[in-house]
Chain A
Amino acid sequence: MLSAHDVTRSFGGLTAVNHVSLEIGPREIVGLVGPNGSGKTTLLNLLSGFLAPTSGEIRFDGTTVSARRAWQPSRLGLRRSFQLPKLPARMSVLEVMLAGGRLPAGASPWRSLLTPGAVRREEAAFIGKAMGLLAEVDLAGLADHPAGGLSGGQQKLLGLAAVLMDDPAVLLLDEPTAGVNPSLRRRMADHLRRIREGGTALVIVEHDMGFIGDLCDRCLALDKGAVIANCRPDELSGNQQVVEAYLGRRRPGVPLRIVAGGTVGGTVDIRTNGARA
């Protein structure tokens, strides 16, 4: 569905993503892990067409993803969310949801003026869909509230719900659970699984290993812009390179400080000092 072929992105002298190739299949849930600064968000920006690769190519559904038309992947069914959604203060929650849908009659100035009936029918249908999605993230009661007035966690949930208004084939999520409380986090995992059952593939940048282990079929670990592991989530903690990327190289005589706790779905929860900024 979505693939990267030998993609590199440099910012001046810094190579943020270094010769990465990957392939995301239909209905797959892939976690993108790695310490801060390892290039996860840059890779997500490249995959979604928000950044142009310095070299290499990104293909989605048979077409090349081009940063010159960053809006196009979204219309073709490749959508992304943001780490910090920064939702508008002067638009309501429901309006943000509708902006995530495809309403061709209302989006055309001519048809807005000349075919009010079609605009109204279209809007009513999408309001119904939006309210359903809002109910799933506990925001239905806030439909008429300013989107920018929501808490950080709620804004993330709304950002996710708005992206789902167009039934994407591939969804790229940038730290969906940061700032979301644990009970909602579990429900979010259930929700994401249901989205996958609906036919959507997911790529998730995430620091919460429990969440990753619970949800992902496969993990790509990045370090210094390169893929250092491509394995099942439960294999991550056994991977020497991954452990070193997170914790640094082990010095002889100093014991490794891995806290083995919160074994969700049989995975080891790697907690590192300061790795979750």
Chain B
Amino acid sequence: MLEFCLHVLIMSAIFGIAAVSLNLQAGTGGLLNFGQIALFGIGAYAVAILTRAGLPWPAALPAGMAAAALGGFAIGRLGRDLAAEYWALATLAVAELVRLVALNEDWLTGGPQGIGGIVGLFPGLDGVARALATLALAALLLLGTALMARRLGQTQFGRVLRLMRENPDLATALGHDIVACKVKVLAIGGAMAGLAGGLYTLYLAFIGPDQLLPFETFLIWTMVVLGGLGNVAGAVVGAMLVTTLYAGIPFLKDAVALPSDLTGSLRVFAIGSIVLAVLMLKPQGLVPERLRRLHAQRP
């Protein structure tokens, strides 16, 4: 049971980073990135390939972040002239492309079998000690990511992103190059998502194309929508709740004697229900975006 709890917490922290990243792009910048899992996947595969080649993880992880940042930059440049909705569709297509490349380029990605047997984090430790060390690392990186995202949301950078979200023409009229802002936030979000993907690979010692299905993107979206778009703390809370639920559902089958092939569908059903319930009952999420009161702050 302790090991299960640690597992859920580690996964919460990892997906928390991915959710904070999506929240910066979609919550603050209003960018409907439906290809978040591609950025996660680029980081995950980069770390897998590099550690397989013998690179230690402290070097592979930043490299994976850089690769995913480049991916974010590319997605931003790609659709720079597209309207928001069409760009959202394009991101979904890009994510599927990334998954198909991972599925088919056996020489690089191991094809459908993925890349396994990765030397994970803290190979010197065992069992609970290893899980605790992994949790500490993941939690620390989540904290760092969340603080960074919060800071970026508070300064002029975030202010321009929010103005871009609500009225791009006004942002342009005030002299802000919204394409450049979009590319910047996608590169930053990409690096964060790549960090989450890299951690994921290192923790599970495995990455495969099935981890990059579009459903994973919607899972991250569910976390952000449940927590509250535009609020960093909300993204972390949403990631914890969704991850716990997702991991907890298999236990339900023991409790209520459900056939085991139902748990997969039940998970999808639960995620869908959450999204619907939030959108109908509390569209601003559990921790809504707050208005920044700059004037009152002054001494």
Contacts and interface: CB of A to CB of B under 8 A. Distances in A.
Majority DSSP secondary structure for residues of B touching A: helix
Nearest to A116: B151
A156 to B, nearest CB: 13
Contact of B292 (A71, A82, A95, A166): A95
A227 to B, nearest CB: 24
A146 interface: yes
Contact of A50 (B169, B289, B294): B169
Nearest to B293: A144
A159 B171 CA distance: 11
A105 to B, nearest CB: 8
Contacts of A123: 155-156, 294
Contact of B170 (A82, A106, A131, A144): A82
Interface residues of B, number: 34
B159 A95 contact: yes
A88 B159 CA distance: 11
B40 to A, nearest CB: 20
B155 A112 contact: yes
B266 interface: no
Given A50-B173, A72-B175, A127-B295, 17 more contacts: A71-B177, A71-B178, A74-B172, A79-B175, A82-B173, A88-B165, A91-B159, A91-B162, A92-B292, A95-B294, A99-B156, A99-B163, A99-B174, A103-B155, A107-B157, A123-B156, A166-B174
24 contacts: A50-B169, A50-B172, A71-B176, A74-B172, A79-B175, A80-B173, A81-B173, A82-B169, A86-B170, A91-B159, A99-B159, A99-B171, A100-B174, A102-B175, A107-B176, A112-B156, A123-B155, A124-B298, A127-B295, A144-B293, A144-B294, A144-B295, A163-B173, A165-B174
Interface of B: 148, 151-152, 155-157, 159-160, 162-163, 165-167, 169-178, 184, 188, 230, 289, 291-296, 298
Top 10 A-B residue pairs of the complex, sorted by shortest distance between their CB atoms: A106-B156, A74-B175, A88-B166, A143-B295, A106-B155, A112-B155, A103-B156, A144-B293, A75-B175, A107-B156
